[in-house]
């Protein structure tokens, strides 16, 4: 089985099945199509499948032309999971969120695997890319594959290879971002390296699926902890009337031993606000209390309240209260220059301001209409920015610093600006740094 599958992968005659047509799965599909593989894309969202069939893109940084080229080359999006039997490789790229108790929610991974299992056959490789705690691949996927009567490492192959995407970052692509791969057995690893080696410039093998799972968590927890540190430093600096962004710029001139991280109104995105909880939850199984990681999480989670306190103080200085004030948020994506709203702190800010009685609007050139979200509801559309509109708001809260904003116009016409991103370097009486 191994030699036959390796031959197909190396000759690019294998059929690749990718499950989950979102920010991770879709770029991967385009890359496999680009080098000549036949690709089947699976998703439970009929709307996504229909859009892709029509050559449309629902992700801003992926062009319709790229989708159309993939479809023309044979890419087939579908909701029919029985077609998994046609694939030689199945790559799972589904969400791993937290539940309401801030515990890992593996329902998407487990439900997806259960949908694929009846259609698995000998001679396939299954790769999980979803970020998760160490042990998920061999505790959850392995027994399900074995339930088909196949011996993993001999009849079928299993790897974990965490996604590494940075939406909006044009310096790196799916092809150029190095890929970690860990196999359940050495044979699994060999097949996994062949699967990704044809489309990724550099694939780094690790000793096990658990090592690969922990690698991804370390990457993101490293960022979460350092962002927590700099967020706490921002609060200290503010009390001392020191501009933390000036301090970061100065510290970054040191050519060794310092990596700049930047404060903000809270953590966002599909990884950094979530991944630390996956490890802290799993660590408890081993009797370990991850105090350092959890403290960083507490600091980062408190940042929206800190920003609201700055808005409150700024309005009070103008003899206004948040209640009945008109507040415009600039940017509701979780990071600048993208249309991705997953775990965006801007949404938390909007809810807190609304609960305090403010009339809240937003402007975001990347998100024209507030999307339907499971936990957050706003019936709003993006407000165009003009001098007259800016002057009409009691407070403008810069939450996400998109490059498309005209910051000079905003500064000139806004009555009161609360800047939570350090975009305004100069001091001005009506600009409050938060």
List, by residue number, the catalytic residues. 271
Contact present, 434 and 310 (Cβ < 8 Å): yes
Contact present, 168 and 61 (Cβ < 8 Å): yes
Angle between helices 186-197 and 2-11 (to 10 degrees): 10
List the strands of the sheet with 179-183, edge to edge: 76-78, 38-42, 15-19, 89-92, 125-128, 157-160, 179-183, 203-206
Report how many helices (DSSP H) and strands (DSSP E) the chain contains, helices first: 15, 13
Please tell me whether residue 94 adopts helix, strand or coil conformation.
Answer: coil
Question: How many residues appear in the chain?
Answer: 434
User: What is the DSSP-derived secondary structure letter of residue 381?
Assistant: B
Q: What are phi and psi of 179, to 5 degrees?
A: -115, 130
- Beta bridge partner(s), residue 206: 182
Q: What are phi and psi of 148, to 5 degrees?
A: -85, 5
Residues 6+ apart with CB under 8 A from 170: none
Which candidate, 16, 60, 52, places its Cα nearest to that of 340? Answer: 60
Q: What are phi and psi of 414, to 5 degrees?
A: -75, 135
């Amino acid at each position: 089985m191994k030699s036959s599958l390796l031959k197909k992968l190396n000759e690019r005659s294998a059929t690749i099945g990718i499950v989950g047509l979102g920010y991770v799965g879709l770029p991967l599909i385009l890359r496999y199509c680009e080098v000549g593989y036949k690709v089947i894309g699976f998703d439970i969202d009929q709307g996504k499948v229909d859009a892709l069939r029509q050559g449309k893109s629902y992700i801003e940084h992926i062009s319709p032309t790229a989708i159309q080229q993939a479809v023309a080359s044979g890419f087939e999006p579908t909701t029919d999971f029985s077609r998994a039997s046609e694939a030689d490789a199945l790559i799972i790229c589904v969400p791993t969120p937290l539940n309401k108790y801030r515990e890992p929610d593996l329902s998407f991974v487990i439900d997806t695997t259960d949908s694929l299992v009846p259609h698995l056959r000998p001679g396939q490789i299954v790769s999980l890319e979803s970020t998760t705690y160490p042990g998920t691949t061999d505790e959850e996927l392995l027994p399900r594959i074995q339930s088909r009567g196949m011996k993993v490492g001999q009849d079928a192959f299993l790897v974990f290879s965490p996604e590494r995407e940075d939406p909006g970052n044009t310096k790196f692509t799916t092809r150029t971002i190095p890929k970690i791969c860990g196999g359940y057995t050495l044979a699994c690893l060999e097949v996994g390296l062949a699967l990704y080696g044809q489309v990724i410039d550099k694939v780094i093998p690790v000793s096990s699926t658990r090592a690969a799972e922990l690698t991804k968590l370390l990457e993101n927890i490293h960022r979460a902890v350092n962002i927590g540190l700099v967020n706490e430093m921002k609060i200290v600096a503010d009390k001392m009337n020191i501009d933390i962004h000036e301090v970061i710029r100065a510290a970054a001139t040191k050519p060794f031993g310092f990596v700049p991280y930047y404060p903000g109104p809270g953590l966002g995105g599909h990884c950094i606000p979530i991944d630390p909880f996956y490890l802290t939850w799993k660590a408890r199984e081993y009797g370990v209390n991850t105090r350092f990681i959890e403290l960083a999480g507490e600091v980062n989670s408190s940042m929206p309240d800190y920003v609201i306190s700055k808005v409150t103080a700024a309005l009070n200085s103008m003899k206004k209260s948040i209640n009945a004030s008109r507040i415009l948020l600039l940017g509701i994506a979780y990071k600048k220059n993208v249309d991705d709203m997953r775990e965006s702190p801007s949404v938390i800010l909007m809810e807190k301001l609304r609960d305090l009685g403010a009339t809240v609007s937003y402007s975001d050139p990347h998100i024209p209409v507030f999307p339907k979200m499971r936990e957050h509801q706003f019936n709003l559309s993006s407000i165009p920015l003009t001098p007259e509109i800016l002057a009409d708001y009691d407070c403008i809260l810069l939450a996400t610093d998109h490059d498309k904003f005209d910051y000079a116009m905003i500064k000139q016409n806004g009555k009161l600006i609360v800047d939570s991103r350090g975009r305004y370097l100069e001091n001005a009486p009506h600009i409050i740094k938060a």
